[in-house]
Structure 1
């Protein structure tokens, strides 16, 4: 960022923060980035792996700024690689090494997950998609309040949603939220998907949805 936009930075911007461990422009940029993530304009850090990309809503906002400020610097998506930079395929390992490890994990009641998915006929509660494979219909059970620490959510039907793989990932990453009125919002695209699909015999715990929104700053 400093390489590209350094000519616009002042001595004040380049100065250090009160803690003395970061430049002021970097500190402000970091907080602006977090604000953009919360607003659904930028892919969240948890899934971007250091590559900051605008969401559809972010590009819509960019186009709005371009129309109101035609002198703004144009941006392309995706950005080309810097001159001379080549991405090389890693060598990998023909015979990967193995190591024995001991892990601890939460024991899930798969009967609960199967129950919820059967009630919804493996149809995504967010978008209505029902995936079919040679082995039968496929869906995923998503815990609204996660089971592991520090969340300690319960493994009960009221804390489980039936989702397609895409919306399961978005939900776990906080890019899909469900309001207290059960309205589903996709923050990656900035669109409202509509009411959460329900099935007889399955009640979604509003307290778990409130926890999910609070945890992800929604």
Structure 2
């Protein structure tokens, strides 16, 4: 039902604020991820339902619809010119500044409390003081613990991207990240040459396509195109370049579909 969905006017304000705080522009995928990070707790169950066409979250689809309206109103650069980047026009930047209010810095705008009666936010849920438990049955891909532990042991639980080694009371902590994901539709293999040893932060960024790794192992920030360094390799753990190529191609294709 439409009443279960966040109003289009709210999605517009969220998008305008997100782009403004990102300096006026962002790739489609990055803009949606930033909106999810900031406003995800305000999305309704209806917003998160998949569309009949491609099972995309409805709020993604409706945000892109609002983006097109903003284009027609001269607030965003037309898609044919921006090449997949959502970019505010001068009029759009002025609208963002007006929405912040006079004398408000971007940092203040991001943290400024809104009135409880504001139409921008849905009512805060009551929550549950004593959550109950339910029994569920799930299916998951069985991963090889031996493969993950082998890769992490070779790298001494040190992130191959940033060199961070997290030490906890129970020992060093790192995560095994598959380059070409397992299972449908990717069908990546669970072998050491398809696994990276990463810290939690870079694992998330890599899985979301915000980091790409070239065949010469240069780590690239997908949003800015800035090289961040070189992936660390160790004897006994060579990365197959075909898996890196799959990762780059998959996320490039996803970004094009988001345009």
What range describes the TM-score normalised by the shorter chain of this pair? 0.5 to 0.7
Higher-helix-fraction structure: 2
Q: Which of 128, 140, 152 is matched with 1:105 structurally?
A: 140
Tell me how large the CA RMSD over aligned residues is: 3.6
- Give TM-score, length-normalised by structure 2: 0.57
What is the DSSP-based 3-state SS (H/G/I as helix, E as strand, rest coil) of the residue aligned with 1:113?
Answer: helix
Give the match for residue 27 of structure 2: 36
Residues 180 and 209 of structure 1 are in contact (CA less than 8 Å); yes or no, is this contact kept in structure 2? Answer: yes
Counterparts in 2 of 1:132 and 1:89: CA distance versus 1, 3 Å:
farther
Is 1:170 paired with 2:161?
A: no
Runs of 4+ in 1 over 4 A off after TM superposition: 1-4, 45-52, 69-72, 79-83, 86-89
- Superposed counterparts of 1:65-214, under 5 Å: 72-73=93-94, 75=97, 76=106, 78=110, 84-85=117-118, 89-187=124-222, 191-214=226-249
Counterparts in 2 of 1:102 and 1:88: CA distance versus 1, 3 Å:
same
- Name the CA distance, whole Å, in 2 between partners of 1:207 and 1:45: 30
- Name the CA distance, whole Å, in 1 between partners of 2:213 and 2:27: 20
Shift of 1:87: 6.9
Residues 142 and 160 of structure 1 are in contact (CA less than 8 Å); yes or no, is this contact kept in structure 2? Answer: yes
Query: Which region of structure 1 is more displaced relative to structure 2, 160-169 or 171-180?
Result: 171-180
Q: Deviations over 1:100-122 (max 9, x none)?
A: 22221111110100000010111
Residues 43 and 188 of structure 1 are in contact (CA less than 8 Å); yes or no, is this contact kept in structure 2? Answer: no
Counterparts in 2 of 1:79 and 1:131: CA distance versus 1, 3 Å:
closer
Shift of 1:2: 7.5
- Aligned residue pairs total 176
Gaps of 5+ in 1: 7-34, 53-60
Shift of 1:44: 3.5
- Name the CA distance, whole Å, in 1 between partners of 2:189 and 2:35: 24
Counterparts in 2 of 1:80 and 1:119: CA distance versus 1, 3 Å:
same
Q: Deviations over 1:148-206 (max 9, x none)?
A: 21111110000000000000001111111101111101235653211101111100111
Give the match for residue 252 of structure 2: 217
Gaps of 5+ in 2: 1-6, 13-25, 41-58, 64-84, 98-105, 254-259
